[in-house]
Amino acid sequence: MEEIVLGIDIGTTKICALVGEVRNREMRIIGLGMQPSAGMRKGMIVDVPSASVALAAALEAAEQTSGYQLSQALISVAGEHISSTNNRGLVAINRNEDGVTPQDIDRALETAQAIAIPSNRQIVHLIPRHYTIDDHAGVRQPLGMHGYRLEIEAHIVTAATSAIQNLTHCAETVGIKAEEMVLNALASGEAVLEPAEREMGVLIADIGGGTTDLALYKQGTVWHTKVIPIGGYHITNDIAIGLRAPYEVAEKVKIQYGDCRPAEIDPDFVFMVEPFGGEKIQVGRQDLAQVIEARVEEIFHLILKDIQQSGYDEYLPAGIVLTGGTALLRGITSVAERVLNVPARVATPKNLVGLVDSLHSPAYATSVGLLRWAGSEHHRYQTHAQPAGLWGRRMGSFIRTLLPG
């Protein structure tokens, strides 16, 4: 039996909608839609109508290529409003010959999530870290084990209710129910991390346009998460200010000539840029690299500060794995290794099948990871899908809601 899964990554710079078909436990990408973002800032929606128009276009393309009209999705979530904590829950094990049951685990999770959460926040993820049965600590899978007390330690991710409502409303505007919100870094981890890395201790940093999303894995599961409100947009903005050029020009310059290693750039290498005013100017590539290096160093110093404050800075023998569009910057791993003093690698989604030519990039780790999340132990569901009929039906009805009269 096949399952059809829709994942939507609503980022600061782009919206990517992916449709996956799960058959015999293999995920095949059968639908793909990409669109520049609108109405977004630092990972959060600031203009629902504009964001909805962009989302509708990406969704329409994904439905058209897949041949399905979809009604629910896993949707990425980011933004500075994200926070996390760890908490314990303890319950008595029901005495029966089956040992620990799924109901026992559910009850333990319920007690773990009984923390004081402000009324304007809600839980997005409740992820078991490990279990203790009586005095037997470090249990990975308690099902069927015997004992008297089951204790669970869980990682709890919360978000601003208003931000989640805006995402939900944006999706509903184009006819999509948000089945689950998934933190960017956790989705990216599903797409790129190796089991051995998760076991030893690794940090994934998804450096997108508006935010840098972190997830630290240890002993096979998530121990810590954080969203830092700085990303590739800020690097491009620094270049735009330095060159006195439009943002679009600065972005092209960053992609074509950008590098994080000014010491390795030929000081005689120059290129021409057209700033505001129209008169072309000459720019040294080494000067550009110094601007980029300064902002990239800041990002990694903020990452270092976060993992030091969390107390997990000694937990990263597998180093840091970089995803997100900004991970494409030349030399970014050398800055990461210098600042964090751990191994660094740039990762792209692996083991892809289907419409994957454009997805072999760190920029699409979150998008692919959303589909993988649907088949992970964290979440299992089947998307309601039906063969699509008239293309443009969703876009047409949506546009009509925006028109007067």
Tens digits of residue pLDDT in 283-339: 999 999 999 999 999 999 999 999 999 999 888 999 999 999 999 999 999 999 999
Share of the chain above pLDDT 70, in %: 92
pLDDT of 230 > 60? The answer is yes
pLDDT at 397 over 80: no
pLDDT at 154 over 70: yes
Quick: pLDDT tens for 59-75.
Answer: 999 999 999 999 999 99
Identify the helix (H) or strand (E) that includes residue 215. strand 212-218
| Domain coverage including residue 209 | 194-346
CATH number at residue 298: 3.30.420.40
The region that residue 79 occupies, defined by phi over 0 for left and psi between -120 and 50 for alpha, beta otherwise, is: left
pLDDT at 114: 87
Reported as a single tens digit per residue, the pLDDT across 368-393 is: 999 999 877 665 333 344 554 433 44
Which of 322, 346, 370 is a domain's end point? 346
Give yes or no for residue 246 having a pLDDT over 70.
yes
Note whether residue 104 is domain-resident: yes
Do 201 and 325 lie in one domain? The reply is: yes
Last residue of a domain, one of 139, 161, 183: 161
Could you give the number of structural domains in the chain?
2
Q: Are residues 120 and 227 in the same domain?
A: no
CA distance linking residue 48 with residue 50, whole number of Å: 6
Residues 101 and 156 placed together within one structural domain of the fold: yes
Provide the pLDDT for residue 289. Answer: 97
Among 140, 132, 136, CA closest to 108: 132
β partners of residue 259: 330
pLDDT in tens, 185-212: 999 999 999 999 999 999 999 999 999 9
181 domain-assigned: no
Tell me, yes or no, whether 293 lies in a domain: yes
The closest alpha carbon to 163, from 175, 149, 148, 178, belongs to 178
Residue 5 lies inside a defined structural domain of this protein: no
Q: Indicate which CATH number applies to the domain containing 110.
A: 3.30.1490.110
- Whether residue 59 lies inside any domain: the answer is no
Give 33's pLDDT tier (boundaries 50, 70, 90): very high
Does 243 share its domain with 147? no
At 1 the pLDDT is 59
Asked if residue 247 lies in contact with residue 236, where contact means CB atoms within 8 angstroms, the answer is yes
The answer to whether position 302 is within a domain reads yes
**pTM (predicted TM-score):** 0.89
Higher pLDDT, residue 216 or 1:
216
| Assigned domain for 6 exists | no
Question: What six digits make up the tokens of 92?
Answer: 């008595």
Provide the pLDDT for residue 267: 94
Rounded Cα gap, residues 173 and 142, in angstroms: 42
Confidence at residue 98, expressed as pLDDT on a 0 to 100 scale? 81
Structure letter (DSSP) for residue 157: E
What is the Cα–Cα distance from 368 to 353, expressed in whole angstroms?
Answer: 11
Are 207 and 92 found together in one domain?
Answer: no
Least confident of 91-100, 268-277, 295-304: 91-100
206 with 275, same domain?
yes
- Residue with more model confidence, 374 or 35: 35
Residues 326 and 239 in one domain: yes
* Averaged pLDDT, 214-227: 94
Contact status, residue 252 vs residue 270, Cβ threshold 8 Å: no
Same domain, residue pair 125 and 247? no
Looking at every residue in the chain, the average pLDDT score rounds to 89
pLDDT score, position 23: 77
